[in-house]
């Protein structure tokens, strides 16, 4: 493609990655007021400064620039000339879709996956430390205290990014909303309850949740729908992309608090789901992830769709490998067995747990948290 658009949350490493991969490209960030003014007032002259292409950072700050970039690309469609980055998914994708359709590849860069974090020295040694630290690169690159860095991150996010994305009048109330969402990570998304607890209307709660999705703070996991002759839950589940951010928003200030925290299970589930999302995104296999729950309480944290078939996955924070960890997934797998025709393969079953040994059992696979990247096989061989 003539242009590559890299989007993701702020501080996920987009600029560092693009400048490292394309050192011969000129670099410009539209966060700088003078560069942003130049690009907005005279876009043709701005682009003429880069005859060989460039890495343009935070390009969503001047969306009209992409309309002029279209003409430049059509005149010289050499691949890889333009590397665009941005941290506001909705605004950036709208601009790219309208102006650069068929000319730009869009890639998402989420915070570091566990296999990437393990390359740093030091890196988290326990499950509690891994959940507490999250995955933002700067924390590990500079060996920073996660709580102190995330405090500044939240303040910057609320005070700058939220004002840029939407006209939120009461920033303190919005931060309270984000904290309430953190307390609901891994749970069904009930807009009425969330709005009532925050003291805002349902339309406001939905609009604010869209801001969290636009800025890659949280995402909704859709419910799996299939003709299984079961009354399935239809509302989505809410997840954060980073458990370190969840911990800070919940007032957790050291890893040890997670050992007995009432939301330990939900935080571990969020960590596991985010790891699967990152691995599939990094392999170029976004989407295809759902959860399963029926009205009788049968549940699977993840249903993974791929050309190879379906896979069921559950996250259990328990460290002891026991057969009881498969109980919920065996019930769900039974639903698929009852609905499947002859010769239809049943979903594979995997439990990611807080222990340390990888085990293959008759009921399925037990995958330790340190090897979470092995929980779901790749869709393409």
Quote the percentage of the chain above a pLDDT of 90: 71
Residue range 130-141: mean pLDDT, rounded: 97
Burial class (CB within 10 angstroms; exposed 0-12, middle 13-18, buried 19+) of 332: buried
Cβ partners under 8 Å of residue 243, min gap 6: 131, 132, 134, 267, 270, 271, 274
Sheet holding 218-221, edge to edge: 187-188, 237-240, 218-221
What local confidence, expressed as pLDDT, does residue 260 receive?
95
Place 381 in a pLDDT band, splitting at 50, 70 and 90.
very low
CA 159 vs CA 33, 245, 348: distances in Å: 17, 16, 45
Pairing of strands 237-240, 218-221: antiparallel
95-102 mean pLDDT: 73
Chain segment 278-315, per-residue pLDDT in tens = 999 998 888 899 999 988 888 999 999 888 788 999 99
Check pLDDT > 90 for residue 121: yes
DSSP assigned state of 311: E
Burial classification of residue 172, based on how many CB atoms lie within 10 Å of its CB (0-12 exposed, 13-18 middle, 19 or more buried): exposed
Does residue 229 have a pLDDT over 70?
Answer: no
Cα separation, 111 vs 12, in Å, equals: 5
Give the range among 108-117, 133-142, 157-166, 182-191 with minimum mean pLDDT: 157-166
| Cα–Cα distance for residue pair 215/218, rounded to 1 Å | 8
Question: In sequence order, what DSSP letters do the residues of 32-98 get, joined into one string?
Answer: SHHHHHHHHH-HHHHHHT-TT-EEEESGGGSTTHHHHHHHHHHH---TTSEEEEES-HHHHHHHHHH
- The confidence band for 228, taking pLDDT boundaries of 50, 70 and 90, is low
Q: Are 172 and 182 in contact (CB under 8 A)?
A: no
Give me the helices (H) in 183-242, please: 191-198, 202-214
pTM: 0.92
342 or 153: whose pLDDT is higher?
A: 153
At residue 310, the 3 state secondary structure works out as strand
Give the per-residue pLDDT at 60: 83
Rg of the chain (C-alpha set) = 22
pLDDT, tens digit, 9 for 90 and up, residues 1-35: 999 999 999 899 999 999 999 999 999 999 999 99
Report CA-CA distances (Å) from 210 to 45, 153, 167, 179, 338.
35, 19, 13, 15, 38
* In the block, residue with structure tokens 């909704």: 220
pLDDT for position 289? 95
- What average pLDDT does the structure give for the chain? 90
Q: Which residue has the tokens 């949740």?
A: 209
Which three-class secondary structure state does DSSP give residue 359? strand
Residue pLDDT, tens place only, 324-362: 999 999 999 988 887 665 556 788 899 999 999 999 999
Tens of pLDDT, residue by residue over 166-197, are 777 788 899 999 999 999 999 999 999 999 99
Q: At what angle do helices 191-198 and 202-214 cross, to 10 degrees?
A: 100
Residues 39-73: tens digit of each pLDDT:
999 999 999 999 999 999 988 888 889 889 999 99
Q: Determine what percent of the chain is predicted with pLDDT higher than 70.
A: 92
Q: What are phi and psi of 219, to 5 degrees?
A: -150, 160
What span, in angstroms and rounded, lies between the C-alpha atoms of 2 and 81? 6
Q: Is residue 92 very low, low, confident or very high in pLDDT (cuts 50, 70, 90)?
A: low
* Cα pseudo-dihedral 250, 320, 322, 269, rounded to 10: 20
């Amino acid at each position: 493609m003539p242009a590559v658009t890299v989007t993701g949350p702020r501080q996920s490493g987009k600029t560092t990655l693009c400048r490292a991969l394309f050192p011969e490209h000129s670099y410009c960030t539209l966060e700088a007021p003078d560069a942003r003014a130049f690009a907005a007032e005279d876009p043709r002259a701005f682009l003429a400064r880069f005859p060989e292409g460039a890495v343009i950072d935070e390009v969503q700050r001047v969306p009209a620039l992409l309309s002029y970039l279209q003409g430049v690309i059509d005149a010289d469609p050499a691949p890889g000339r333009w590397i665009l980055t941005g941290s506001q998914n909705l605004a950036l994708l709208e601009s790219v879709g309208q102006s650069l359709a068929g000319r730009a590849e869009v890639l998402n860069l989420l915070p570091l996956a566990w296999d990437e974090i393990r390359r740093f020295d030091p890196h988290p040694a326990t499950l509690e430390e891994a959940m507490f630290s999250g995955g933002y690169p700067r924390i590990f690159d500079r060996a920073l205290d996660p709580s102190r860095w995330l405090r500044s991150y939240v303040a910057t996010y609320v005070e700058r990014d939220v004002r840029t994305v939407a006209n939120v009048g009461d920033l303190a109330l919005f931060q309270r909303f984000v904290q309430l969402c953190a307390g609901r990570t891994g749970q069904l998304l009930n807009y009425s309850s969330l709005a009532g607890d925050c003291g805002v209307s349902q339309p406001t709660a939905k609009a604010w949740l869209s801001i969290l999705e636009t800025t890659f703070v949280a995402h909704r996991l859709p419910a799996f729908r299939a003709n299984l002759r079961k009354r399935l839950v239809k509302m989505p589940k809410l997840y954060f992309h980073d458990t370190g951010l969840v911990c800070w928003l919940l007032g957790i200030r050291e890893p040890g608090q997670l050992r007995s925290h009432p939301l330990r299970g939900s935080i571990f589930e969020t960590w596991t789901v985010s790891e699967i999302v990152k691995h599939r995104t990094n392999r170029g296999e976004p989407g295809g992830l759902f959860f399963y729950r029926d009205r009788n309480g049968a549940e699977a944290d993840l249903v993974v769709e791929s050309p190879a078939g379906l896979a069921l996955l559950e996250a259990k924070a328990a460290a002891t490998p026991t057969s009881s960890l498969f109980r919920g997934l065996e019930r769900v797998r039974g639903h698929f067995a009852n609905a499947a025709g002859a010769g239809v393969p049943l979903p594979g079953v995997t439990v990611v747990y807080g222990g340390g040994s990888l085990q293959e059992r008759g009921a399925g696979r037990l995958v330790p948290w340190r090897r979470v990247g092995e929980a779901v096989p790749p869709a393409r061989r």
